[in-house]
């Protein structure tokens, strides 16, 4: 059985593997940071800060849907203004 991958590792691998001609690595990095912050707020809301990584398997479809529908459009609008 393979070791569970952390969300940070997954995002790094995903952004590197999906790197296309003309993509801005700074935008990818910003998107990665925003997503990680969103997930940490989602899972740590009302709790003390815990230095425990969030695993990809911990994120459900509801959380991903929330990110894509509410946070991601804000990221796109912000990067277009740069």
The reported pTM is 0.40
The more confident residue out of 76 and 29 is: 29
Compute the average pLDDT of residues 13-20: 62
Residue 2 domain flag: no
Full residue range of the structural domain in which residue 36 is found:
7-16+23-45+52-81
**What is the per-residue pLDDT across 25-73, written as a single tens digit (0 to 9) for each?**
777 777 777 777 777 777 665 555 555 566 666 677 777 777 767 666 6
pLDDT of 6: 73
pLDDT of 1: 54
Domain count, the chain: 1
34 contact partners, CB below 8 Å, separation of at least 6: 71, 75
Residue 60 domain flag: yes
């Amino acid at each position: 059985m393979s070791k569970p991958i952390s969300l940070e590792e997954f995002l790094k691998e995903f952004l590197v593997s999906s790197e296309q001609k003309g993509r801005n690595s700074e935008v990818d990095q910003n998107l990665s940071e925003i997503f990680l912050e969103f997930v940490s707020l989602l899972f740590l809301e009302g709790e003390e800060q815990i230095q425990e990584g969030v695993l990809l398997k911990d994120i459900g479809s509801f959380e991903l849907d929330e990110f894509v529908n509410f946070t991601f459009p804000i990221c796109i609008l912000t990067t277009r203004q740069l």
